[in-house]
Each structure stands twice: as C-alpha cells, then as structure tokens.
A and B are shown apart, each in its own frame.
Chain A
C-alpha cells in the first residue's frame, strides 16, 4: 500500500535559518566581504571558477561565502547560476603563446628563451605554519626588477618541434563546430575536445588521483613537465553585429604541457607526445593532473594497451564531474521510505523461506 506523506515545511524553513546563522558565525567577528575572499582566498576562487565552468571572480567569491567555504558546494552554486544566463556566442581560442607570463617553469630545459620565472608559488616554501600571518596586518611587498619579463615566450614544445622530436598539434578545421558537453550528451569514443572540456571542469581531487595513478604504474606514461605557465591572456569574441573579433577582457589561466615518450609505430617514427592541461586562474596542480590524464586517454590514438583506469575514457569522463557525483551520492539522503519498505518485505519473505528450509533439513536429518 502506498501512503503519500507530506510535512516538514516548517522544519526545512528553520533548518535554513539555522544554516544562515551558522554561516555567519559569531557576530562579534566581522563579516567576510566578497572583496576579502576574492583578494585573499584567490586560489579557492580560481578553483571554483575552473570547476564551476564560469569565469567571474566576484560570483565565485559569493558562492564560496554562501557555501561556508565548501568549494564543491560553491562550484554547484556557480554551475546553477550559469544556466540562468544566455550565451552570446563562442570566443576565439585564447593564444597562450601571447600570455603576459607571471610564472613559467620547465623541468626539461634549464636554459630556455625567456628563462625560468618562478612567480608566486608554494613550491619553494618550507610548509611551516607562519605565525606572523596569525598576527594580522601583514603588508608584504614583492621585489620589482628593472625590466619586465619578455613577451611572447616560445613554448618548450616549439623548441622540440624544431628538431621534429615532438608531435605537432595541428589546429584542424576551425570552421567546424566544437563539441560542447553543456549542450550535447557524451558519446563514446569521445573526441579530444570533449575529453579536454570534461577534464577542465572535472573535480581536481579525482583528476589528481588519476594522474597520480598513471605515475605509479597504472597506465605508465613517463611524463616530464615540459612547461607550466601562468598569466593573463585576452579573450576575443566576434559579435554578429560587428563581424570581426574584439577583445572583451582578460583572464588568468594556467597551462601545462607534459611531454611523454612514444616508441613509434609502423607509420610514425619514435618521438615525444604531449598531454595538455588548461585551467582558469592559477590551478597548477589541476593543470598538471589534467595533462597526465589527457595523455593517458590518448592511448587509443597511439595504439597503446588500455588496461588502467586513467586510460578508460568512459570511466574517467563519466565520473570526473563533482556536481554530478555529489548529487548522486547525496541523493541517498532523500526519503527512500517506500523503496525500503519493499526491501523489508522481500528480506522478511526470504528469511522465512530460509528458516523453513533449515527446519525441514533438521527434521529430515532427525528421521
């Protein structure tokens, strides 16, 4: 028998009030402003924009505040917001070679044109808690060199390409539409554009773990961090009414090119291949992980055996999205009273049958 149940409206309304109070915390402590989050929690903002798939630091800061610092919840909020906005069109591809570089390192060449520019990085810190930050009122100042970094730094892959030692990434046909997973259902085998979009907005923890698994031997692909660069690039868009591209602003992005050995095939000589990572903001761990997984997912293209989780595109692409994953895991909290009643009835019936067969056996044995 199915019995419809209603109720809980008041409890829900009060739960939301309690949530709002807890979010605010102690009133004696000043409330966080969006400016503070944007300026001082900038890497959280960058992650929320990357995985929320929407570049808008103010909205990301608001989402972080509303989510009480739960970044996956903030990502969900940003994703929900983006569905309310119209899309004016597609931008021209950003040109990372023209990036105003703030960080650029290579693990494959010590001396490369433009040099190794460390930029702002945790890499060279000792990871000791800094109690000076606890005291507050910090006004650190960066050093300023006489001259700025060079513009238009060549990529490491261009240096290798000079010798023909690395595959060249060809632009293909720019008049063809680009796969967009926000508008089309996934299809397998997935094209590279679908994989890269999926990885770009995929959960950092999931992509990191998969990238790590390739290093530990699950689809080993011998990577080198050819180049990591972070800085600002212009976003160009061609409005219909103008018919030519204009710059509509600048975004910060992080790019990673992993270089991987390739033994060659019947048609191709041995050469290096690459995995590519690109994120909004300064999400370096994510960009590196993305590059590892991108390369692992190219196994089919290079006739490599597909035997590890990171090479299984359906497994990777279908589980990378933390909004989907979190939704499906957390839906288990919703009332399943009727489902569970049905299972109770089944288990009771099975047990009854089991007990009867046991007692039959016992009486058979006694006879």
Chain B
C-alpha cells in the first residue's frame, strides 16, 4: 500500500526506499527470538554506537470511517525506537511495536548494515530472507486454518 503513494524522489531513490521499507518491515514484524537467533549466528558483526538509546513510547493507530472515509483515532500501540551508527558511519533506525529494547536496537543495527552496499546481499540472505520466509509461512498457515472454515453452500433441488 505504501507503493501506491506518490513520491517526490527519482526512480532510483524510490526503489531504494522500497527495499528499505521491506527490510524494516521484516525486522519490525519478526519474532524477537527469530531475529536474535539469526543475529547471533552471523559470522561477523560491525561495531556500533547507540545514537539514541532504545526508548519506549507510543504511536496513535488510526482507522477510516467506513474503512475508506475520514481518519479517526482508534487507540495507541506501544513502540520502541532506537538509532545507531556503525563504526564506518552508516546510521540505522529501529521502530518496533512492543516494548523490547533489544529488538529495536538489533533492528536499527541491521537497518544500518543493510544500507551498506558491500554487506547488503550477504545479510539479506542470512537474516532478512529467512525472517520474511517465516513471516510468510506463519501468515500462510493462519490463512489455511481460516480457509478450512469457509462455507460451501449447497442447494437442495426438490423433485416434483
């Protein structure tokens, strides 16, 4: 849905933005246990400095009247954010629903590394792709359970 929004940047920038949105989404939606385990398995990790220590706050979730109408506030969600800088300069941000500080920090570190072209592909394979795969599988599983409850209507034809 974000791709539908008009963007003021060049095609290259918007492609870069879309890939960043994709990995930031995968990091935010990850189960912390999955992210932590994949991170711990990485062979090499850069050093980083925390620019903004993990902070717990809220974002107001909004809906639209009738699903498509004017916006209204539903209620807040808890969010933890963090900003880090790698020793070679790249800055990363983590915005993750919930109150897990370590999750937000790891998300920020991975965001920073992913912006480093020389490291991106390896990290994509080792961390982002497996996270996406797990999220897709979980979604698929939920969808299949829901599908088992889909009604098959049948009509009885009365023979006269």
Contact = CB atoms under 8 A, between A and B. Distances in A.
Contacts of B119: none
B58 A147 contact: no
A148 interface: yes
Contact of B24 (A94, A101, A247): A247
Summarize B's interface: helix, strand, loop or mixed: mixed
Q: Chain A interface: which size bin?
A: 35 or more
Contacts of A59: 78, 99
Nearest to A279: B74
Interface string A85-125: 11111111111111011110000001100011111100000
A49 B58 CA distance: 13
A146 interface: yes
A85 B25 CA distance: 23
Interface in B35-78: 55-78
A54 B151 contact: no
A87 B73 CA distance: 13
Contacts of A278: 63, 74
Contacts of A179: 72-73
A110 B151 CA distance: 10
B57 A93 contact: no
B38 to A, nearest CB: 18
Nearest to B62: A93
A89 B75 contact: no
Given A50-B75, A102-B142, A172-B70, A251 B147 contact: no
Contacts of B140: 148
A105 to B, nearest CB: 9
Interface residues of B, number: 58
A111 B151 CA distance: 10
A319 to B, nearest CB: 19
Given A144-B144, A180-B60, A250-B29, A237 B79 contact: yes
B45 to A, nearest CB: 23
Given A178-B62, A192-B72, A196-B63, A248 B95 contact: yes
Contacts of B58: 54, 82, 85-88
Nearest to A170: B69
A61 interface: no
A245 interface: yes
A172 B17 CA distance: 27
Nearest to A84: B56
B149 interface: yes
Contacts of B28: 246-249
Contact of A169 (B17, B66, B79, B97): B66
Given A94-B61, A145-B148, A192-B72, 20 more contacts: A87-B60, A88-B81, A91-B59, A100-B142, A142-B148, A143-B149, A144-B141, A170-B69, A171-B71, A172-B71, A192-B69, A192-B70, A193-B65, A193-B70, A197-B72, A197-B73, A234-B25, A244-B21, A246-B28, A249-B97
Interface of A: 49-50, 52-56, 58-59, 82, 85-98, 100-103, 110-111, 115-120, 142-149, 155, 157, 168-172, 174, 178-182, 192-194, 196-197, 200-201, 231-232, 234-237, 239, 241-242, 244-251, 253, 255, 257, 274, 276, 278-280, 294
Top 8 closest A-B pairs, CB basis?
A148-B143, A249-B97, A169-B69, A169-B66, A145-B147, A143-B148, A247-B25, A53-B75
